[in-house]
């Protein structure tokens, strides 16, 4: 087994093992913390799909994280109040079933990404970063000015949505649901990046003209990757809303976009397990250092600086001894 595979297993083992030990020793709060790490990791896996493999530096993925959260919150609040979302053209009711909410989340975040991506991907470099940021901020301000769903105060829905046969309010159960989705997303990413689509995406990251010369149109590939990326991050947003039973415009804020990017940079850009390692470290640091000082992000900043300067492959790259070679 390669060193990289060992590192990957260790990262997942730390997350899952940590949650199980916390559960067995009765530390329910730590299980919830691990759940948060798994959800952030999933959001990072989504962004890594576009940023890490495709080189599309989206600074607006909070848009999809927040859209996932709001779709979940809106559906759940309507289910709770018993009022329909809309009666035109036909009656559409809310729902509190995760299996009904998730497809809706994937659909809405995918459509949003299709529109945002189709426009942003006409630019590149720093312009792409700014255009994605601008779209996310538009949605952020829209949410703040939307009183029907809480505006600036956000939207609470008190009871976690249901999953068939699983009492989701038990911390370990919800952790396992989130981790299962994380593993699915990781498996999906691994398979896609070895298929021709994923290879073309990675090829286009390095050189657009060479990709064109073998008959591949980078725009279509990049747009598809952007949409898939947004759907995964949107799903993470849905899980995050369910974790807190609360959504607010903060999920859409550019701080959130930055945090998702930090998970990837910490863990390793374009590494399969990079976002997982990054999210685990981020949540752990927030928990341990946040208890000591509210300025813990200063320390995070130093760690980030050290990684960017001395370990461009992130934690995964450093531990696997493949600091510069970023093929998977």
Nearer to another protein, 91 or 324 (CB): 324
Instruction: Provide the 3-class DSSP secondary structure of residue 201.
Output: helix
Those residues with Cβ within 8 angstroms of residue 260's Cβ, 6 or more apart along the chain or in another chain: 40, 43, 44, 46, 47, 61, 62, 65, 233
Nearer to another protein, 96 or 202 (CB): 202
Nearer to another protein, 217 or 255 (CB): 217
Binding mask 309-328 for another protein (x = CB under 8 A): ----------------xxx-
Count Cα neighbours of 13 within 13 Å in the Cβ-side half-sphere: 6
Those residues with Cβ within 8 angstroms of residue 287's Cβ, 6 or more apart along the chain or in another chain: 33
- Mark the segment that binds another protein (CB under 8 A) among 102-110, 183-191, 211-219, 242-250: 211-219
- Does residue 2 touch another protein according to CB under 8 A? no
Nearer to another protein, 32 or 326 (CB): 326
- Mark the segment that binds another protein (CB under 8 A) among 79-87, 184-192, 208-216, 240-248: 208-216
Candidate list 81, 86, 93, 207; residue touching another protein; CB under 8 A: 207
- Does residue 202 touch another protein according to CB under 8 A? yes
- Alpha-carbon distance 88 to 84, whole Å? 10
Q: Is the dihedral of CA 143, 147, 151, 154 positive or negative?
A: negative
Candidate list 88, 213, 292, 298; residue touching another protein; CB under 8 A: 213
Those residues with Cβ within 8 angstroms of residue 41's Cβ, 6 or more apart along the chain or in another chain: 15, 182, 263, 275, 276, 278, 279, 280
- Mark the segment that binds another protein (CB under 8 A) among 130-138, 206-214, 238-246, 293-301: 206-214
Nearer to another protein, 214 or 298 (CB): 214
- Does residue 272 touch another protein according to CB under 8 A? no
- Does residue 25 touch another protein according to CB under 8 A? no
Helices of type H across 195-273:
196-206, 208-213, 218-244, 254-267
- Does residue 217 touch another protein according to CB under 8 A? yes
Candidate list 199, 289, 299, 303; residue touching another protein; CB under 8 A: 199
Binning the chain into helix, strand and coil, the percentages to the nearest 5 are 75, 5, 25
- Alpha-carbon distance 295 to 261, whole Å? 20
Q: Provide the binding-site residues for another protein, judged by CB under 8 A.
A: 194, 196, 199-200, 202-203, 205-207, 209-217, 270, 325-327
């Amino acid at each position: 087994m390669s060193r990289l595979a060992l590192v990957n297993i260790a990262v997942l083992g730390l997350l899952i093992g940590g949650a199980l030990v916390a559960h067995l020793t009765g530390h329910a709060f730590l299980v919830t913390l691990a759940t948060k790490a798994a959800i952030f990791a999933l959001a990072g896996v989504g962004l890594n799909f576009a940023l890490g493999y495709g080189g599309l530096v989206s600074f607006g993925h909070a848009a999809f994280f927040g859209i996932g959260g709001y779709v979940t919150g809106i559906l759940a609040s309507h289910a709770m109040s018993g009022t329909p979302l809309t009666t035109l053209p036909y009656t559409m009711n809310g729902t509190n079933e995760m299996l009904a909410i998730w497809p809706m989340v994937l659909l809405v975040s995918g459509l949003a990404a299709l529109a945002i991506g189709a426009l942003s991907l006409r630019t590149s470099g720093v312009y792409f970063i700014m255009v994605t940021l601008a779209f996310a901020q538009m949605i952020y301000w829209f949410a703040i000015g939307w009183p029907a769903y809480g505006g600036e105060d956000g939207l609470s829905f008190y009871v976690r949505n249901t999953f068939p046969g699983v009492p989701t309010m038990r911390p370990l159960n919800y952790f396992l649901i989130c981790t299962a989705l994380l593993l699915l997303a990781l498996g999906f990413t691994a398979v896609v990046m070895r298929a021709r689509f994923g290879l073309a995406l990675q090829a286009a990251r390095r050189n657009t003209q060479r990709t064109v010369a073998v008959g591949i149109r980078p725009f279509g590939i990049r747009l598809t990757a952007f949409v898939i990326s947004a759907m995964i991050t949107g799903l993470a947003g849905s899980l995050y809303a369910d974790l807190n039973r609360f959504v607010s415009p903060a999920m859409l804020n550019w701080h959130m976009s930055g945090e998702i990017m930090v998970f990837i940079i910490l863990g390793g850009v374009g590494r399969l397990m990079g976002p997982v390692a990054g999210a685990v470290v981020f949540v752990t640091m927030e928990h341990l250092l946040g208890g000591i000082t509210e300025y813990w992000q200063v320390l995070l900043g130093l760690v980030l600086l050290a990684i960017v300067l001395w370990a461009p492959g992130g934690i995964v790259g450093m531990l696997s001894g493949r600091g510069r070679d970023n093929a998977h």
